[in-house]
Amino acid sequence: MSKKSQVIFACGLVVIAPQLFAGTNYAQLQQQAIANDSVLKSLQQSQQAYDVNQKYAGRMNNPTFNVELDNLGNSKLKDLDGPTAFMGLSQEIPLNNKLALRKQLAGLQGNNNQFEITQRQAELKADFRICMSNWYTASQRAEIYAAESKLSARQATVLNEKLKYGRVIPSDVQLNSALSAESKLRYQNELKKVQFQKNLCSKFAFDLPANAIDVPLTINFTDKVSLSEQQALLKKQQAKTQFELAKKEAVPDITLGVGVRNYQETDDKVFLVSTSIPLSIFNRNNGNIALAQAQQTNAETRSDLINRNSKIELDNKSIEVSSLIDAIKQYDQSVLPATKESLRIAEMGYQAGKISLLEFNSIKQVWLEKHLARFDLWLALQNQIAEVERNYVTNLDQE
């Protein structure tokens, strides 16, 4: 089994505990967040404009209608033919495939907008995952603080009973009361954080559930397409097309004209055909060609670098995710059960007078810290998955 396959399998182990329908609910909320995004809607609407731009980009310039009037007022002079009138049309004709390159460049601009749509969707997925994960983590913290607060309340009851019979010193009662109040305050503040995180998530989706839902840990590192790699490729293609177009634009268009000249004295009509060919003397396009070539070289260099780095970064993400999953499995399988059992025994031991309040509180603190550490690991794993969602997609054409 490969390392990447192990990561996927391990993720499956982590998500056994949550409710089976949590993934479905999360997917529905994620789609709602994508559908509600105004920036994404604007990009999708603008795609029609890019399609229209590509449709007309490869067309020739409009023909020119020409009218000429000659020799007005000189009709009586013998050496002139009298007034004449000319009407005709002229059309610029390119001598190479610059029109096709213009159409191709317009198509690449549309591809850039389509890429921005895909990139925005990836950003929304990542940001939504982070927000929902923070909300769920805050809810889990609130639950563990609630359990701690109940535990402190039980100990307060035990201490008060012992105090009646002089089996405990008053300072222990005061200390436990202070710790109990602190625990209760911690729980109340965490409830505020839960509401705070829920309010943040309402920016993405309006129809949020009353309580936080588990966020699936599904991740697949195979067949990933790097968005930065795709962006670099688009820039490379655009720079290449611009360079080719700059060279073609250096060749001037010829102008063909047809028309009819009417001699008013004799009513003779003459059909005329004309052509004009600009001379490439000053080579004004050389600067554009040099600039386009430099941009193409830069785009190719960046594309090669990004292609290499994106693969390295994806491999590193796989390693980080695998390490976090292993740590979470260790907490779930050994650390948390051990602290739970240790706390249970410590509570019984304290009530029986076998251990001191200080020893009990130390064990309780370890139990609390290990649960909080497990939540931090889970949140760190979600952040890593979100980074993959932000920077990589499975298939660019299907996003």
How much is the pLDDT for 6?
Answer: 39
Structural domain containing residue 362: 10-59+94-250+285-394
Residue 70: predicted pLDDT: 77
Q: Which of 132, 107, 125 is nearest to 40 (CA)?
A: 125
> Domain for residue 78, yes or no?
no
CB 281 within 8 A of CB 271: no
Integer Cα distance of 228 and 307 in angstroms = 8
Please report whether residue 43 resides in a domain.
yes
CA distance 330 to 169: 40
DSSP strand pairing (84-93 vs 64-70):
antiparallel
Q: Is residue 73 part of a domain?
A: no
CA gap 299, 284 in Å, rounded = 24
Q: Are 265 and 82 in contact (CB under 8 A)?
A: yes
Q: How far apart are CA 203 and CA 271, in angstroms?
A: 71
Query: Along the chain (399 residues), what's the average pLDDT of each consecutive run of 10 residues?
Result: 41 40 77 93 92 87 88 58 84 86 91 94 96 96 93 80 72 79 90 96 90 89 87 94 90 90 84 86 83 92 92 92 96 96 92 85 94 97 95 67
Inside any domain, residue 64:
no
Q: Is residue 269, in this structure, part of any structural domain at all?
A: no
Is 267 within the bounds of a domain? no
Nearest C-alpha neighbor of 264 from the set 131, 398, 69: 69
CATH number of the domain that 175 lies in?
A: 1.20.1600.10
* Rounded Cα–Cα distance for residues 17 and 215 (Å): 12
Convert 2-13 to b/e letters by CB count within 10 Å (16 or more is b): eebeebbebbee
Q: What is the pTM of this model?
A: 0.81
Distance CA 326, CA 298 (A): 42
What is the structure's pLDDT at 219?
81
Whether 339 maps to a domain, the answer reads yes
Measured CA to CA, the distance from residue 88 to residue 259 in angstroms comes to 4
- Asked if residue 378 belongs to a domain, the reply is yes
The DSSP secondary structure of 327-391, one letter per residue, reads HHHHIIIIIHHHHHHHHHHHHHHHHTTSS-HHHHHHHHHHHHHHHHHHHHHHHHHHHHHHHHHHH
What does the pLDDT read at residue 3? 43
> Between the CA of residue 150 and those of 146, 147, 187, 373, what are the distances in Å?
6, 5, 11, 21
**What is the count of structural domains for the chain?**
1
CA distance 102 to 292: 15
Angle between helices 227-249 and 98-164 (to 10 degrees): 160
**Burial class for 116, CB neighbours closer than 10 Å (0-12, 13-18, 19+):** middle
pLDDT at res. 59: 86
pLDDT value of position 54: 87
